[in-house]
Structure 1
Amino acid sequence: MATSCNLADRQCRPCEGGIAPLDAAMASEMLHTLAGWALNGERLEKTFAFRNHYEAMAFVNAIAWLSHRENHHPELTVDYKDVRVRYWTHAIDGLSENDFICAAKLEKLLTI
C-alpha cells in the first residue's frame, strides 16, 4: 500500500479519459493514508479549519499554486475560516490516483 509520503512525492499524470476510475477497494486503501479525508460518493473531500479568514485565504492561494503545478484542480468552498476541498477526476467522472496525490500534497504543505 502506498503511504501518504509516497503519494506526496509523485506527480499527477494527464488524464483525458479512456481509463476506469479507481474501484472502491483501491480508493479505500488509498484513503487510509490520508488523515481526515473522506469519500463522499465519487469524491474525495476534507474541510480544513483555520484561525481566521486571512489564513483560510492563504491556504486557498497555496491550493491554487499546487493545482497549477500538478494541472489537477479541486472544487473549493470557502467560508469565513473553513475551506472544503473536493477532488475527483472530471475526465473519468470518478476518482483517480491524481486525486489522492493532490490531497497528500496538501497535507504535506500544511506540515512545512
Structure 2
Amino acid sequence: MTQVCDLTDRTCKPCEGGIPPLGKEEAENLLKQLEQGWQLADSKISRVFSFKNYYQTMAFVNAAAWISHREDHHPDMTVGYNRCQVEYTTHAIGGLSENDFICAAKIDALFKL
C-alpha cells in the first residue's frame, strides 16, 4: 500500500463508547490529511470513488472490505455500476473518531494503486 499520510501507519483502536466524538476543529484537521474528495457533514466523512466499469468497482469494494475487516472498523458503502460511496462514522460514540480517518486514509492508498 502506498503511503498517503501518517494515518496509514496507524491501527484502529477498539471503541466501545464512553469517549466523546471528535470536535469539529479536530475533525477538520484530520480531514486535511486525507486526499481531496472527502466531505465532512453530519458527524460523518464520505467520498465517492469512480471507476471504469463494474468489475473495477467490485474489486475496490472487496479490497475496502478486507481493510475494514482487518481494522475492525466498517464503513457504510453504496455501490453502483461504476462508483462507490464510502461513509465513515463511529456508531459507538455517535460521531467521528480517529478510526474513521485512519480507515479513510487506507482507502485513499488503496484507490491510488
Calculate the TM-score normalised by the size of structure 1.
0.94
Aligned length: 110
CA distance in 2, matches of 1:66, 1:102: 8
How far apart are residue 48 of structure 1 and its match?
0.2
Matched residue, 1:19:
19
How far apart are residue 76 of structure 1 and its match?
0.3
Alignment of 1:63-82 (within 5 A): 63-82=64-83
How far apart are residue 7 of structure 1 and its match?
0.4
Matched residue, 2:84:
83
The runs of 4+ residues in structure 1 deviating greater than 4 Å are: none
Matched residue, 2:111:
110
Calculate the TM-score normalised by the size of structure 2.
0.93
Unmatched 5+ stretches in structure 2: none
Matched residue, 2:32:
32
CA RMSD after TM alignment: 1.2
CA distance in 1, matches of 2:14, 2:49: 27
* Percentage identity across paired residues of the two chains: 55
CA distance in 2, matches of 1:82, 1:108: 17
